Structures are given as structure tokens and as C-alpha cells.
Amino acid sequence: MHFSTAVTGREDAILDLFKASFTASEGPEEGALIAGLVRNLLSNTPKPDRRVVTAEARGRVVGGCVFSRLIYANDKRTVFVLAPVAVASDLQRQGIGQQLLTHGLAIMREAGVDIVMTYGDPAYYAKVGFQPIREADAPAPFPLTQPEGWQGQSLTAQTLTPLQGPSRCVPALNQAVFW
Ligand SMILES: CC(C)(COP(=O)(O)OP(=O)(O)OC[C@H]1O[C@@H](n2cnc3c(N)ncnc32)[C@H](O)[C@@H]1OP(=O)(O)O)[C@@H](O)C(=O)NCCC(=O)NCCS
């Protein structure tokens, strides 16, 4: 397994991975929605505000995840949100997702990020260090339809204390449908 943060020239392979994985797990509408989100994250988001990490095996992109900046208006800490994450459907449940996220979080730590938030299944994300957090303690950019999926982790020696909002995400994620 090889991990990469390179995007140029690999956009189509990355988009195809997200589209196929979400189509297989949640249907074609979700596949198209998430592929559109990733397209926007790749093309319309300033580079300092997003980081794409891929897992590759034998020249094929088999996993991917995207981190993008989340600004808390009244908080000095550097925060990113992890979304979305996908592993090729024929290769799931073999540990690729966990390796990819562990690697991605290490990259964000080295880049000086203090806190990473995510929004998804707590049973899964707990395996890579996320813990549930109340919206009151880390306001999301939109009211959450599944507040139990809101999670965070500190990448520093400091414990995760409440983030002072309001918060603002990158334009690609700035739609209620993603929250
Ligand atoms: C979620 C996803 C990224 C996980 O990738 P993966 O490579 O299959 O995950 P791993 O093999 O690293 O799984 C690690 C652990 O999580 C468990 N797990 C895998 N998918 C899970 C899920 N959907 N819910 C809960 N646990 C899950 C595995 O059993 C494994 O546990 P174990 O090591 O104790 O056996 C992948 O299933 C996927 O792409 N799903 C479709 C897209 C999606 O839903 N993305 C997440 C929302 S953004």
C-alpha cells in the first residue's frame, strides 16, 4: 500500500473511486452527490484549505479521504473537517480505511492542525481516535440532522476543549444536504 497527497493528473481516478464506492453503498444519487462534492473540493477549494490523501495499490486508487478547513470565528486553533472517506467496495473491511485515516491524520498533525472534526458512524471513527462531541461544544456550519455523528479529536497534547463558534466551512461543503 502506498499513500499519496498528490492530486494533479489523478483527479478522474479519485472521483471515480468516490462515485463507485458511495453508489455501491448508498445508491447512485448519493454516488453522484459525493462525486460532485469531491470535484468541488479538488477544483474550487484553495489548496491551503484542503488536503486529499489517497491509498494506492498496484497503480490503482483504492482509498481516499479529504480534509478541509473549518474556521471557528472566535477560536485561534486550526481546525479541519474530514469528509468524505471511501474505500473501493471490493476491498472494504481489510483495514485500508483505518490505515488511510491514520496516515491522513498524521499528515494533518505534521501540517500543524490542532483539531480534526468528522461527521459519520461513531463506531467506525472511534477506531482512529475520534470521540463524540456536542454541537454546543463545537458548533457545526449547519444544524446537524444526525448530531450523534459529530465527532472530533485533538492532534496535539492539548485535550479537546469546546470550540468557540460560529463555524464556517469551505464553499464546497457549504450546503445543508451535507450536514
Ligand atoms: C467506511 C469505509 C471507508 C471503511 O473502509 P474499510 O477499508 O472498509 O474499513 P476498515 O477495513 O479499515 O475497517 C476498520 C474497522 O471498521 C469496521 N468497519 C468497516 N466498515 C464499517 C462501517 N460501515 N461501520 C462500522 N464499522 C465498520 C471493520 O469491521 C473494521 O473493524 P475491525 O478492524 O475491528 O474488524 C468503507 O466501508 C467505505 O468506503 N464505505 C462507503 C462510503 C462511506 O460510507 N464512507 C464513510 C462516510 S463519509
* Pocket around ligand 1 at a 6 A CB cut-off: 21-22, 25, 83-87, 92-98, 120-121, 123-124, 127
pLDDT, position 33: 98
pLDDT, position 142: 98
**How crowded is residue 60: how many other Cβ atoms within 10 Å of its Cβ?**
11
**Ligand 1 atom having least distance to the Cα of 123:** 25
Q: How confident is the model at residue 36 (pLDDT cuts 50, 70, 90)?
A: very high
Tell me the per-residue pLDDT of 105-130, one tens digit each, with 9 for 90 and over. 999 999 999 999 999 999 999 999 99
Amino acid at 167: S
**Ligand 1 atom having least distance to the Cα of 93:** 11
Distance 138 CA to ligand 1 centre (A): 25
Amino acid at 154: S
Task: Considering only CA atoms, give the Rg of the chain.
Answer: 15
Task: Tell me phi and psi for residue 176, to 5 degrees.
Answer: -55, -30
Q: Which residues pair with 3 in a beta bridge?
A: 55
| Rounded to 5°, angle at Cα 37 from 104 and 98 | 25
d(CA 73, CA 60): 40
Length of the chain: 179
- What residues have CB less than 8 Å from 71, skipping those under 6 apart? 79, 167, 168, 169
What DSSP character marks residue 120? S
Ligand 1 atom 19 nearest Cα: 93
% of the chain exceeding 70 in pLDDT: 100
Is the Cβ–Cβ distance between 114 and 17 less than 8 Å?
no
**14-33: average pLDDT:** 98
Is the Cβ–Cβ distance between 41 and 134 less than 8 Å?
no
**Ligand 1 atom having least distance to the Cα of 120:** 47
**Ligand 1 atom having least distance to the Cα of 88:** 39
Tell me the per-residue pLDDT of 56-112, one tens digit each, with 9 for 90 and over. 999 999 999 999 999 999 999 999 999 999 999 999 999 999 999 999 999 999 999
Is the Cβ–Cβ distance between 21 and 35 less than 8 Å?
no
**Mutational pocket test of ligand 1: of 124, 127, 151, the residue with most ligand atoms within 8 Å of the beta carbon:** 124
Tell me the per-residue pLDDT of 129-168, one tens digit each, with 9 for 90 and over. 999 999 999 999 999 999 999 999 999 999 999 999 999 9
Integer distance in angstroms from the first to the last C-alpha of the chain?
32
Domains along the sequence of the chain with CATH: 2-170 (3.40.630.30)
d(CA 65, CA 51): 8
| Rounded to 5°, angle at Cα 35 from 32 and 36 | 85
